[in-house]
A and B are shown apart, each in its own frame.
Chain A
Amino acid sequence: MSTPYAKLPAWADYGLIPLINLAVAFIVAGLVVLLVGENPFRAAAILVEGAFGRGQGIAYTLFYATNFIFTGLAVAVAMHAGLFNIGGEGQAYVAGLGVGLVCLALDRVVPWYVTFPFAIAGAALFGAAWAFIPAYLQAKRGSHIVITTIMFNMIAASLMIYVLRDILKPEAMQEVKTRMLEAGAQLPRLNWIIELFGTARIRSAPFNVSFLLALVMAYLVWLLIWRTKLGYEIRTFGFSQKAARYAGISEVRVTIIAMLISGALAGMMSINAIMGDQHSVYVDLAGGAGFIGIAVALMGRAHPVGIILASILFGMLYQGGAELSFEMPAISRDMIVIIQGLVILFAGALEHMFRPYIQTLFASISPKSVGMAAVKGEGA
């Protein structure tokens, strides 16, 4: 039996179980809120209100979600190839350099829509480059990609501080970052779209064109994984290396290409941060989004639609969490880090904890659907 758990109807598999895992993660998070001495239900209400109550909140929610869509897609593409790319954080950070170099060169010369495609290319190139070495070492020398990508996250942090402080920072500036980027590298805001729905005027939210890029990438990832030959090869390899060998699919090629795509996607996150929000390249610009990508991909079951939904959820937590910390000073935004950890724990590592119970439940409700499938699945 190679798929010991695949005996539930699809809606239970893709809907019910993730929801239960998510619910448990939130219940445990609620316990933390209790421990801090606040009311978890009131906290949840403030959080949702903060994220969706006003146009400003929605715009921020979607701004954060943009980051997570990119990094979530990055983790998902690697996951389909059976690879665990923990290095999204470093890839996004280094990609910031690619974006920064393009922007610094073009922002005073051309309008944003000329800079944008070059910035995308820069982000993709630098992000992919940072993923290449771990990919190559995994494919050719068998070095465990989880460990190498962790190491590359740490190396990226040192490298970027060096580049920013010793090379790109203008002499006169105190803060470690590049000079401010000008109009040619500032992406237009999309707040007006939200205002179309009748919300109050949104003054300052950095919700911008990168969101559309993220949606396009989500579509392209879907196309890649389920509609291209390459995606077919990636999935075959991810499910069964033996079947891939049988089908004449090169292990080295799939590993490296999947990781390059993954790195490129993670890299695009930096466009949102640099061109959409801060208008400079700054220290720790990935800000943990690379890691949230892991939670998002696990929760979204590595499917672009799931990833978009999970990203919006985490965007909501980020934005609502900011509001929450005003209302309940005891709860800072770091609450999200806990929730993120709990989601990774329950939707990832303990993914199958509740499954046997649900299977039993299903079996008792309709013994036929579950029991028969088990017999058939056995195959012999």
Chain B
Amino acid sequence: MAEAAIELIGISKSFGAVRANRDINLEITRGTIHGIVGENGAGKSTLMSILYGFYQADSGEIRVNGKPTSIKSSNDAIATGIGMVHQHFMLVDNFTVLENIILGAESDALLKSSIAKARSELERLEREYGLEVDPDAIIEELPVGLQQRVEILKALYRGAEILILDEPTGVLTPAEADHLFRILRQLKEQGKTIVLITHKLREIMAITDSVSVMRQGTMVATRETKQTTVEELAELMVGRRVLLRVEKGEARAGEVKLSVKNLVVKDQRGVTMVDDVSFDVRAGEIVGIAGVAGNGQSELLEAISGIRKAVSGSVTLDGKPIDLTGAADPGELRQRGLAHVPEDRHHVGLVLAFEENENSILGYHNDKRYLKGPLLDVDAIMADAKDKIAKYDIRPANPRLRTANFSGGNQQKIVLAREIEQDPGVLIVGQPTRGVDVGAIEFIHKRLIAMRDQGKAVLLVSVELDEIRSLSDRILVMFAGRVVGERGPEASEGELGLLMAGVEQKEAAE
């Protein structure tokens, strides 16, 4: 009775050395809502891009409605009845709704008839699915929720029978998200097949019929939603990794070094990313911030380190306020003892085109130790770089080598060495071991513990739950821009996983 709308058989895709998808098998039943969950970088978006013809799989087969189909371009995907609502909307901002809808699907060479035809078709679609939107409104003047509706209408206008939605609720308010779900249910009732990509387990439980879990490029499990639990999914998603035990003694927390109060930060689009967050970090402790990527951690770090402006709230360093108006000088904050290991070492923490020794002073280039008047003291910089290379076992041990030619782990060590060796009072660290090999992970973890034991305050943001659990003395969980809970390091993975998925404790207890 239940036919497969889509079958993926043995799909693999690599980007250079990165294997984004490995031998993926997936079957999606027609007329259902199928969820795909996984952490960032698990390969969900790549898989869907292959299905939509944006990339070609290196190997494997796609079957649509039972027929082997070759999808070489978005055009092919559209022709086979696949529509996609991208995470970042593919809309032309200064076009009207109608213009966006007909773009690429115009009925003839002149717009007048295309638009007239689209207008009546759109009215029909709006009636049928309850998707109201003013056809003559300019996209950039619409709220995001409506923009998304235009994306859905665009797909339906092209006759999509299978609709892929990539992280659709990321930019929506809870009310808008609920509305979206009502729409999706209605679409399902009309016989459409829906694929929902998300990392929010609450949504999966609320709306899907079945769910697949991806981890590190592989498909680890597929379940009927009714027969699974949030706990199981959280575990599948995060995986039972070997917990890297880090030797560490009791924390001896001292005075408050860094204090964040009622911080609110918005991103470029004006979406609130950090929502009324408050916490303290004391000397001699590591405070870990756990959470699925994209829940405001990045913006939080950037605001504290003076790179991004905050809307309201305050941050104090050793009791003295940090300028949050966007005019803060990160150089001055460094002098006050705030060191920052940014999440994105490729574009922010390092200049990849620089030689290693040049990166070892980035941000500290105003320091007298590295200068002779207006000139750089090349000998001092080189000696300093060599010293750090030895101390942090950076390989190859060549301070003249271009930074791009170091491995991820060694690049990260370059950043860490630079920030830690300045002997800061407060260290804020984002994703310290992302893309770092196992050997370097252990080294980096030990360094962070050593910092703590020297009485420094460390704020650690990581999407690796293991890392947070093994390093932190206190764990804060962020979800949708808010700190939704604080736990001790003894908190179980499941408990934290639920918090990370935005499941309230009471709900989980039921």
Task: Determine the chain A residues whose CB is within 8 A of the CB of B402 once the complex forms.
Answer: 6
Which A residues between 313 and 336 are near B, CB-CB below 8 angstroms? none
Cβ–Cβ contact A229 & B374, under 8 A: yes
A196 at the interface (CB under 8 A from B): no
Cβ–Cβ contact B18 & A3, under 8 A: no
Cβ distance B100 to chain A, nearest Cβ, rounded Å: 27
B242 at the interface (CB under 8 A from A): no
Cβ–Cβ contact B329 & A248, under 8 A: yes
A352 at the interface (CB under 8 A from B): no
Cβ–Cβ contact B358 & A380, under 8 A: no
Cβ–Cβ contact A227 & B376, under 8 A: yes
The residue on A at minimum CB distance from B305 is: A246
The residue on A at minimum CB distance from B367 is: A229
B26 at the interface (CB under 8 A from A): no
Residue of B306, B334, B351 near A243 (CB, 8 A) is: B351
Residue of A230, A232, A235, A242 near B347 (CB, 8 A) is: A242
A-B contact pairs, 14 of them (CB 8 A): A6-B353, A228-B375, A229-B366, A235-B351, A239-B354, A243-B347, A246-B349, A248-B331, A248-B366, A249-B331, A374-B16, A378-B16, A378-B18, A379-B435
B9 at the interface (CB under 8 A from A): no
Per the bound structure, the CA–CA distance linking A365 and B411 in Å amounts to: 29
Cβ–Cβ contact B16 & A379, under 8 A: no
Cβ–Cβ contact A377 & B404, under 8 A: yes
Contacts between chains A and B (CB distance < 8 A), count: 101
Cβ distance B40 to chain A, nearest Cβ, rounded Å: 13
Cβ–Cβ contact A242 & B365, under 8 A: no
Per the bound structure, the CA–CA distance linking A242 and B349 in Å amounts to: 9
Cβ distance A27 to chain B, nearest Cβ, rounded Å: 31
Known: A247-B331, A379-B408. A3 touches B352 (CB 8 A): yes
Which B residues between 25 and 76 are near A, CB-CB below 8 angstroms? none
Per the bound structure, the CA–CA distance linking A376 and B362 in Å amounts to: 22
B485 at the interface (CB under 8 A from A): no
Per the bound structure, the CA–CA distance linking A6 and B351 in Å amounts to: 14
Cβ distance B370 to chain A, nearest Cβ, rounded Å: 8
A245 at the interface (CB under 8 A from B): yes
Q: Digit string of A1-34 for contact with B (CB within 8 Å is 1, else 0)? A: 1110010000000000000000000000000000
Cβ–Cβ contact B371 & A229, under 8 A: yes
Cβ–Cβ contact A248 & B332, under 8 A: yes
A240 at the interface (CB under 8 A from B): yes
A375 at the interface (CB under 8 A from B): yes
Residue of A236, A245, A378 near B330 (CB, 8 A) is: A245
Task: Determine the chain B residues whose CB is within 8 A of the CB of A89 once the complex forms.
Answer: none
A107 at the interface (CB under 8 A from B): no
Per the bound structure, the CA–CA distance linking A375 and B408 in Å amounts to: 10
Known: A248-B334, A248-B363. A243 touches B350 (CB 8 A): yes
The residue on A at minimum CB distance from B361 is: A232
Cβ–Cβ contact B16 & A376, under 8 A: no
Per the bound structure, the CA–CA distance linking A1 and B14 in Å amounts to: 13
Task: Determine the chain A residues whose CB is within 8 A of the CB of B344 once the complex forms.
Answer: 242
Cβ–Cβ contact A379 & B307, under 8 A: no
Cβ distance B496 to chain A, nearest Cβ, rounded Å: 25
Which B residues between 384 and 436 are near A, CB-CB below 8 angstroms? 402, 404-408, 411, 434-435
Per the bound structure, the CA–CA distance linking A48 and B307 in Å amounts to: 55
B340 at the interface (CB under 8 A from A): yes
A373 at the interface (CB under 8 A from B): yes
The residue on B at minimum CB distance from A371 is: B17
Residue of B348, B358, B404 near A242 (CB, 8 A) is: B348
Q: How many chain B residues have a CB neighbour from A under 8 Å?
A: 44
Cβ–Cβ contact A247 & B362, under 8 A: yes
Residue of B329, B340, B346 near A2 (CB, 8 A) is: B346
Cβ distance B396 to chain A, nearest Cβ, rounded Å: 10
Cβ distance B401 to chain A, nearest Cβ, rounded Å: 10
Task: Determine the chain A residues whose CB is within 8 A of the CB of B366 once the complex forms.
Answer: 229, 248
Cβ–Cβ contact B434 & A2, under 8 A: no
Cβ distance A45 to chain B, nearest Cβ, rounded Å: 41
Residue of A2, A228, A245, A374 near B352 (CB, 8 A) is: A2
Which A residues between 195 and 246 are near B, CB-CB below 8 angstroms? 223, 227-230, 232-233, 235-236, 239-240, 242-243, 245-246
B378 at the interface (CB under 8 A from A): yes
Cβ–Cβ contact B353 & A239, under 8 A: yes
Task: Determine the chain B residues whose CB is within 8 A of the CB of A376 once the complex forms.
Answer: 405-407
The residue on A at minimum CB distance from B411 is: A379
Cβ distance B322 to chain A, nearest Cβ, rounded Å: 13
Task: Determine the chain A residues whose CB is within 8 A of the CB of B365 once the complex forms.
Answer: 229, 232-233, 247
Task: Determine the chain A residues whose CB is within 8 A of the CB of B288 once the complex forms.
Answer: none
Cβ distance A225 to chain B, nearest Cβ, rounded Å: 11
Cβ–Cβ contact B376 & A380, under 8 A: no
B296 at the interface (CB under 8 A from A): no
Task: Determine the chain B residues whose CB is within 8 A of the CB of A233 once the complex forms.
Answer: 365
Task: Determine the chain A residues whose CB is within 8 A of the CB of B83 once the complex forms.
Answer: none
Cβ–Cβ contact A236 & B351, under 8 A: yes
Cβ–Cβ contact A248 & B347, under 8 A: no
Q: Which of A6, A374, A377 has the largest number of chain B CB atoms within 10 A?
A: A377
The residue on A at minimum CB distance from B402 is: A6
Cβ–Cβ contact B374 & A243, under 8 A: no
Cβ distance A19 to chain B, nearest Cβ, rounded Å: 22
Cβ–Cβ contact B405 & A247, under 8 A: no
Task: Determine the chain B residues whose CB is within 8 A of the CB of A245 once the complex forms.
Answer: 307, 330
Task: Determine the chain A residues whose CB is within 8 A of the CB of B305 once the complex forms.
Answer: 246
Per the bound structure, the CA–CA distance linking A377 and B406 in Å amounts to: 7
Cβ–Cβ contact B340 & A246, under 8 A: yes
Task: Determine the chain A residues whose CB is within 8 A of the CB of B291 once the complex forms.
Answer: none
Cβ–Cβ contact B351 & A3, under 8 A: no
Counting from the closest, the 4 A-B pairs by CB-CB distance are A248-B331, A380-B435, A379-B408, A248-B330
Residue of B347, B374, B405, B434 near A380 (CB, 8 A) is: B434
Cβ–Cβ contact A246 & B307, under 8 A: yes
B342 at the interface (CB under 8 A from A): yes
